[in-house]
Chain A
Amino acid sequence: MIKRRRFLQYSALAGLSANPGFGLFNSAMAAGGSARIVIIGGGFGGATCARYLAQLNPGIHITLVDRAEKFVTCPFSNAVIGGLHDISYITHSFDKLRQDFNIKVVNGEVRNIDPAGKKVILKKGKSLEYDRLVISPGVDFKWNAIEGYDRKAAQQLPHAWHGGPQTQLLRQQLLAMKDGGVVIIAPPNNPFRCPPGPYERASLVANYLKQHKPKSKIVILDAKDKFSKQALFQDAWDKLYGEMIEWVPGSQGGTVTRVDVKNKTVFAGGDKHQGAVINIIPPQQAGGITHTAGLADDSGWCPVNQRTFASTRQQDIYIVGDACIAGKMPKSGYAANSQAKVCAVQITASLQGLEEIEPSWVNTCYSLVAPDYGISVAAVYRHSSEGIIGVDGAGGVGPRHAEPQVRSMEAVYAEGWYKAIVKDIWG
């Protein structure tokens, strides 16, 4: 028999915590034991974190909360808008997470979070107690930051920056548009979800119009003077779509300041632009619940410890994905997936009473410019004294002057990327 006093001494020698709640017993069980983890948001960040925590910690209790019964992805929604895929292709159920990973999935809206009581309170009154809480709420829009653009306006002039009915609305408007119409796409200033997304959208809308409504035009009224993968996009536009796409940078009158929904008009840099279809991608901030829970700062995003994704504002709460401030990482689906895995490993280490593990991330992002023309950007990230930074000499966009086979291979890999990552996330 080992007496308690000796036990504690030996434990100290073994580098174990004397707190029976963590270190020792969880190490003995070689898993996260019976810890209760609640995850808010079933998208790229939340569902990934749930799955990887379940895999790393058999026996752990994971509850995933999402307001919808199925998740519709933003990645590949441009392919739906452009008619390459159906909405069902980008819609994913939580069934595999339930069945294969023993994750409890709750459909519901979160009313608030009680960090002191370590509880998540749902709108229907039920509350979920947690040992650790992970939040991956994605983005919310700053309604009326563009004058006249609010929730109601989005029913006429879709943002289509959340996958789902908005994606379908924009698709339907393009289908209903007459040949010769002008499509306006208005991307916001940085930072926002999916930096190359608006330009992929312009490309795949052009691909549709070229085939079905060739007299039409796309005007990108941009709040910025440069954008992600710009040279690769613009080379491809010249080659594939000629004059169809016009890009107006912010300093040359691109910044949209007001919309007139009734007259389908947008105001930018002193000019009025009328569009048959108008897609406003409004300025963004971290998802709603983070603001009521005091997790976001004045920037509208959530500061975190960039090694672990633990909130710097509340204990035992982690924020991953678009909503968090993650150094040099972009707000992308792959980044959210990568962050969620780092977070899952760090939570596992902490449940084991282990030191933090040196983190490592990747972002790989494809854009389709046409069904057989893909471009990519990639980066490997590590943590430094300045937070998360890209590894020098690694990553970057694909070559500017590449053989056509490279573009067609990247289109094939873009489709493969989507199939693989959704399986990595939702099973």
Chain B
Amino acid sequence: MVMKNRKEFAKCLLFVLAFSLPTLSWGTDLRSQMLANPCLSCHGPDKQSAGSIPPVVGMSAENIQSALLDFKNDKRMGTVMNRIAKGYTDEEIAALANFFTR
């Protein structure tokens, strides 16, 4: 593809940014959404469980992250959460903590 001049280049760049940025952010969003979706079944689609399961709403990202890491490393004893947290890498746990507090 031939760029005739700077103006053309700028136009092209704008176009690329306009469409690729939202696309990229959608992709990133969908990745976090994918990881977090199964959590919502118990902890509530609005992060607030309808029943007795502890809600995530109101917790800070740091608290969620450290709780999940502690469950994963058996430093905090729960019922199912120790078994579930072990299924995620530390990076994924950080992404989940961000997702739940955005």
Contacts and interface: CB of A to CB of B under 8 A. Distances in A.
Interface residues of B, number: 38
Nearest to A337: B41
Contacts of A56: 30, 33
Contact of B80 (A342, A360, A376, A421): A376
Interface in B24-78: 26-27, 30-31, 33-35, 37-45, 49-53
A305 interface: no
Looking at chain A's contact residues, the main secondary structure is helix
B42 to A, nearest CB: 5
A30 B53 contact: no
Nearest to A341: B37
9 A-B pairs with least C-beta separation: A380-B87, A419-B51, A416-B51, A416-B52, A394-B87, A362-B38, A394-B86, A341-B37, A391-B87
Contacts, number: 150
A249 to B, nearest CB: 27
Nearest to A333: B41
Given A362-B87, A416-B51, A417-B53, A398 B38 contact: no
A10 B12 contact: yes
A395 B42 contact: no
A417 B23 contact: no
A379 interface: yes
A355 B23 CA distance: 11
A16 B19 contact: yes
A227 interface: no
A376 B79 contact: yes
Interface in A319-350: 334, 337-338, 341-342, 345, 348-349
Contact of B27 (A2, A24, A355): A355
B43 to A, nearest CB: 7
A288 to B, nearest CB: 27
B11 interface: yes
A334 B15 contact: no
A30 B23 CA distance: 8
Interface in A396-427: 396, 398, 406, 409-410, 412-413, 415-424
B41 A421 contact: yes
Given A28-B19, A409-B79, A419 B50 contact: yes
Given A342-B34, A417-B53, A420-B53, A354 B23 contact: yes
A251 interface: no
B44 A360 contact: no
Interface string B76-97: 0001100111111000000000
Given A391-B87, A413-B80, 17 more contacts: A13-B15, A13-B16, A14-B20, A30-B22, A30-B26, A56-B33, A348-B30, A358-B34, A360-B38, A362-B38, A391-B86, A394-B83, A413-B52, A416-B49, A420-B44, A420-B49, A420-B50
Given A364-B41, A415-B51, A406 B79 contact: yes
Contact of A14 (B16, B31, B33, B84): B16
Contacts of B27: 349, 354-355, 357
Contacts of A338: 37-38, 41
A52 B15 CA distance: 30
A424 B84 contact: no
A230 interface: no
Given A395-B83, A416-B51, A424 B1 contact: no
A341 B22 CA distance: 22
Contact of B42 (A2, A380, A412, A416): A416
A27 B43 contact: no
A380 B84 contact: yes
Given A13-B16, A419-B50, A334 B83 contact: no
A9 B51 contact: no
A420 B31 contact: no
A427 to B, nearest CB: 9
Contacts of A27: 19, 22-23, 26
Contacts of A337: 41
A424 B40 CA distance: 7
B94 to A, nearest CB: 15
Contacts of A380: 84, 86-88
A379 B19 CA distance: 38
